[in-house]
């Protein structure tokens, strides 16, 4: 048995002012064959990570291709996308004949001339490997589950948890089902339901926690192979953006259709109840400052300026408000400002200097914040953890402005692991208030520290108030933009 695996991925915010070029992949994740670390998967390369181990255990031949990932931002340039795609396709062609292909992709990648990069890759892969080769794909749930990609792949599995702490378990499931399909033990058949909506579904809170358990309860019983709830990625103006329910059965299409409709209609019935309150930042701050923090810091999430959703993470609104109010023992992290970080490294810890912080990328970044700062600490070539994965954050610097600590980085990234603080010798649990530039992934590492968590609205292209987006191309009607938007089985 011969199986090929590779990865090409990013999450594209079509409203982001930040272009994504080849350099963004090369400085984030760009592993050529044989270079992928043996002990840690990246966000979208878990199929390779798992298949490498399973090949040794089960005796099949694994051919490794390249793995590429860039931090979410605006569309990838056409030349960058086609260069990476064609590199992987060349490796695939050289590996023929194949029994299976395992692809790690995000599912919300857009490039110049391509609304559905994943569908384009799958179309070209299928043309090379033929109809009998089994193609399996792992995707982030914040994807656009297009009819094209479902029609081309044999099985697609999405992470179930948000934050995405189940990347490796879902890859294990994918590899298992692909191997069973190759061996003729199962015949996966897809059913797809469009919920006609977009929403925020953090699985650390109800009703989403219970819905994940409900998804899992159907798998492995009565011919149900896999259930994936596609949250959708609302920060992209592409035709098939939105929440969808994907069910695979073992050659039982009618049964799969019924389950996809049933679970999809349950999501439709939860409209308006899946997301915690999205407060104006000043209201979130009022409530956070009134919180008893004896058991840990209050946390305010800042999704609109979340690098993980394609934003710059250099908006200064929250920092400005904290300093203006004279808040003590608070921290903002991470704020992307390579120039300010460079200045801090030049003068070193303990020095004082006047810095112009943030506000550099676009009008959505707000105005720069000018302040006299004390450099608390600096650190070079840092990483933060996210489950079993690690991601680069570049050089770090922490400065203090009054009672507020600002953690700045050179590699744009959202708040994921506590290393943003600990690499600088700081303890995130020691603060009264943490303002984290992240939508939900911070919860894996910081949630256990928190006395309370608040979700706030500041400024940025990852806003959770979707009516602020100027959609022109998405399929309508779509709730909550449209009051009446029925769901429907589409495959």
Q: Give the model confidence (pLDDT) of 22-61 as tens digits.
A: 999 999 999 999 898 887 788 899 999 999 999 999 999 9
Q: What was the pLDDT predicted at 366?
A: 93
Q: What was the pLDDT predicted at 40?
A: 79
pLDDT tens for the chain, 491 residues long, are: 999 999 999 999 999 999 999 999 999 999 999 898 887 788 899 999 999 999 999 999 999 999 999 999 999 999 999 999 999 999 999 999 999 999 999 999 999 999 999 999 999 999 999 999 999 999 999 999 999 999 999 999 999 999 999 999 999 999 999 999 999 999 999 999 999 999 999 999 999 999 999 999 999 999 999 999 999 999 999 999 999 999 999 999 999 999 999 999 999 999 999 999 999 999 999 999 999 999 999 999 999 999 999 999 999 999 999 999 999 999 999 999 999 999 999 999 999 999 999 999 999 999 999 999 999 999 999 999 998 888 899 999 999 999 999 999 999 999 999 999 999 999 999 999 999 999 999 999 999 999 999 999 999 999 999 999 999 999 999 999 999 999 999 99
CA angle 3, 389, 378 (to 5 degrees): 145
3-state SS class at 254:
helix
Q: What was the pLDDT predicted at 266?
A: 98
Q: What was the pLDDT predicted at 220?
A: 96
Instruction: Give the tens place of pLDDT for each residue, 305-316.
Output: 999 999 999 999
pTM of the model: 0.96
Residue 22, sorted as left (phi over 0), alpha (psi -120 to 50) or beta, turns out to be alpha
Mean pLDDT of the chain: 97
Q: What was the pLDDT predicted at 387?
A: 82
Q: What was the pLDDT predicted at 390?
A: 85
Q: How far is CA 148 from CA 76, 87, 139, 242, 296, in A?
A: 20, 22, 15, 15, 47
**Phi, psi of 101, rounded to the nearest 5 degrees:** -130, 130
Q: Cite the DSSP H helix spans in 166-250.
A: 167-182, 208-218
**Nearest-angstrom CA–CA distance, 85 and 92:** 11
Q: End-to-end CA distance of the chain: give it in Å, rounded.
A: 31
Q: How far is CA 477 from CA 239, 269, 473, 491, in A?
A: 12, 16, 11, 19
Q: What was the pLDDT predicted at 52?
A: 95
Instruction: Give the tens place of pLDDT for each residue, 426-483.
Output: 999 999 999 999 999 999 999 999 999 999 999 999 999 999 999 999 999 999 999 9
Q: How far is CA 388 from CA 43, 46, 102, in A?
A: 9, 10, 20
The structure tokens listed for 236 are 């992209």
Write out the H or E segment, with its range, that includes residue 152.
helix 147-152
**Nearest-angstrom CA–CA distance, 479 and 197:** 4
Instruction: Give the tens place of pLDDT for each residue, 148-169.
Output: 999 999 999 999 999 999 999 9
**Nearest-angstrom CA–CA distance, 366 and 356:** 12
């Amino acid at each position: 048995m011969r199986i090929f695996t590779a990865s090409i991925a990013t999450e594209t915010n079509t409203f982001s002012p930040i272009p994504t070029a080849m350099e963004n992949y090369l400085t984030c994740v760009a592993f050529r064959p044989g270079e992928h670390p043996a002990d840690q998967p990246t966000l979208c390369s878990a199929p390779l990570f798992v298949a490498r181990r399973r090949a040794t255990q089960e005796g099949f031949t694994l051919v490794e291709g390249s793995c590429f990932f860039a931090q979410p931002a605006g569309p990838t340039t056409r030349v960058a996308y086609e260069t990476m795609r064609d590199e992987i396709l060349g490796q695939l062609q050289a590996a023929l004949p194949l029994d299976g292909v395992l692809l790690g992709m995000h599912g919300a990648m857009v490039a110049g001339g391509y609304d559905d990069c994943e569908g384009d890759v799958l179309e070209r892969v299928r043309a090379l490997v033929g109809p009998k080769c089994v193609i399996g794909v792992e995707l982030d749930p914040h994807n656009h589950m297009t009819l094209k990609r479902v029609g081309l792949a044999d099985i697609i599995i999405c992470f179930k948890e948000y934050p995405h702490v189940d990347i490796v378990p879902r890859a294990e499931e994918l590899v298992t089902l692909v191997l069973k399909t190759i061996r003729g033990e199962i015949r996966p058949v897809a059913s797809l339901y469009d919920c006609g909506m977009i929403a925020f579904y953090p699985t650390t809170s109800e009703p989403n926690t219970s819905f994940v358990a409900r998804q899992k309860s159907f798998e492995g019983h009565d011919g149900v192979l896999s259930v994936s709830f596609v949250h959708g990625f609302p920060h992209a103006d592409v035709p098939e953006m939105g929440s969808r329910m994907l069910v695979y059965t073992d050659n039982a299409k009618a049964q799969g259709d019924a389950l996809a409709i049933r679970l999809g209609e349950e999501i439709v019935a939860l409209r308006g109840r899946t997301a915690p309150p999205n407060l104006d930042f000043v209201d979130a701050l009022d409530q956070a400052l009134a919180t008893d923090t004896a058991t840990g810091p209050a946390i305010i999430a800042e999704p609109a300026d979340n690098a993980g959703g394609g934003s710059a993470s250099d908006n200064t609104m929250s920092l400005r408000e904290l300093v203006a109010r004279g808040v003590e023992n608070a921290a903002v992290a991470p704020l992307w400002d390579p120039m300010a970080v460079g200045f801090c490294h030049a003068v070193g810890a303990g020095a004082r200097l006047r810095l112009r912080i943030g506000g550099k990328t676009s009008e959505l970044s707000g105005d720069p914040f000018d302040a006299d700062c004390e450099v608390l600490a600096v650190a070079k070539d840092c990483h933060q953890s996210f489950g079993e994965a690690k991601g680069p954050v570049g050089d770090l610097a922490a400065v203090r402005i009054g009672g507020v600590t600002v953690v700045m980085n050179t590699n744009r990234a959202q708040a994921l692991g506590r290393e943003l603080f600990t690499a600088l010798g700081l303890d995130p649990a020691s603060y009264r208030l943490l303002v984290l530039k992240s939508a939900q992934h911070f919860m894996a590492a910081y949630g256990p520290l928190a006395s309370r968590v608040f979700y706030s609205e500041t400024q940025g292209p990852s806003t959770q108030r979707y009516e602020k987006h100027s959609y022109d191309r998405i399929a309508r009607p779509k709730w909550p933009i449209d009051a009446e938007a029925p769901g429907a089985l589409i495959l």
